[in-house]
Structure 1
């Protein structure tokens, strides 16, 4: 068993640059993936997200130790300490995943990047975002997507102070996992999401957020982990040990 990974990202109209970023680290048959969404507030939030992605991937590829939820959380703290002095009043949402083909996926997330399971054109979202709209109780994602208060985040990766992420474990099966920013899960309907995952560019809107999705599929193969899609995208960082 191994993995096939695809990255698709499209800049929106709310900022001058695409603030969604992804990082992929490959170490043998082990995979670390992170998807981030830099806040629309603060001119350097996109750069902040990119730096976080690179820090996490570089750590994973260079490490010889076992990767656990604890070591991942600790490295997020290390990345925060390294970056906080260079970035002021910026933030990013993220979902950080560690996977081996025969074990549950370890997921750490803070903010409104989500992980879901794709199945015949429909996506079942497996996490709840950290927003004001669902701060007191879980809300179905299709309803949450229409709530204006979902744009107020109760947790994220913030330069001012570190906020601990939520921890989840997701069982792998033969259906792809999707790791997405809110411009994908909240702003695109099911048909549009399917088209986007398949590599189609969607029409630009007047008030469109950046939209990005990382697809991770477990496949039966003796080959190594493969990365497809927008490999040359400037907002994708890939390193293979």
Structure 2
């Protein structure tokens, strides 16, 4: 089992917190997901909540998960729900870590997945997943230069009603590191640009999953300004 920590805050420039997160702790794997719905449209919070539920529902049962299963679940949800969310868009990141430390992740938009030493600071997170924005549209590694461009707010891949964007898949080894999944308000505005937590304009959220330990009981710490996190423990 893993130590789970969820941190989330509504941005000063946002009417409501449209970040959502969730995780499943199971005997053979952990699943984490974060969703960041934009302020566009009236139902972004509901879309984010449904996307988290879709991932967690698809991850229930069995001893193993594969990317195709979760991608297909997201595709089906898009087909079934796009008429309900015509004006909403969202970024998301999900990751599955096996008991051996192997991780695969699916990302779409500007939510990210990374690794940090246990107890480390946000500035020390090694962000491993790509960022799908117009600022780095040619596939460049997203850096501080891109973070300051206005085009970074325009996503080249995201959840939207017009078409289903296939999430990008990556594989890596977590070892004894903490697995982090974060929205751009957290990793970019707070982490990269150094904006202090009380002054953040955007919603900011981060899910941290400590290294799995089959001999330990599951422990969780949830710190959030809203009830926007779901956790399930399977023995």
Measure, in 2, the Cα distance between the counterparts of 1:217 and 1:167: 22
Superposed counterparts of 1:197-236, under 5 Å: 202-205=197-200, 208-220=201-213, 222-230=215-223, 233-236=226-229
Secondary structure in 1 matching 2:25: strand
Greater mean alpha carbon deviation, residues 123-132 or residues 20-29: 20-29
Q: How does 1:121-160 map to 2 (within 5 A)?
A: 121=121, 122-160=124-162
Normalising by structure 2, report the TM-score.
Answer: 0.88
1:198 corresponds in structure 2 to none
CA–CA distance in 1 between the matches of 2:79 and 2:58?
Answer: 14
Which residue of 158, 168, 177 corresponds with 2:179? 177
Match of 1:89 in 2: 87
Q: What's the CA shift for 1:240?
A: 2.8
| Counterpart for residue 76 of structure 1 | 74
SS in 2 for 1:35: strand
Q: TM (normalized to structure 1)?
A: 0.86
Equivalent pairs counted in the alignment come to 230
1:25 and 1:58 in contact (8 A); partners too: no
CA distance in 2: counterparts of 1:50 and 1:83, whole angstroms: 13
How far residue 93 of structure 1 moved from its aligned partner, in angstroms, is 0.2
In 2, Cα distance between equivalents of 1:231 and 1:90: 23
In 1: Cα distance, 2:191 partner to 2:56 partner: 31
Rounded to whole Å, the distance in 2 between the matches of 1:139 and 1:69 is 23
Question: Which residue of the other structure, out of 164, 167, 189, is the alignment partner of 2:166?
Answer: 164
> Does the aligned pair in 1 maintain the 2:35–2:93 contact within 8 Å?
yes
CA contact (8 A) 1:28 1:224 kept: no
Q: Could you give the per-residue CA deviations for residues 27-71 of structure 1, whole angstroms, max 9, x where no partner exists?
A: 33422211010012112112101111012212322x337410111
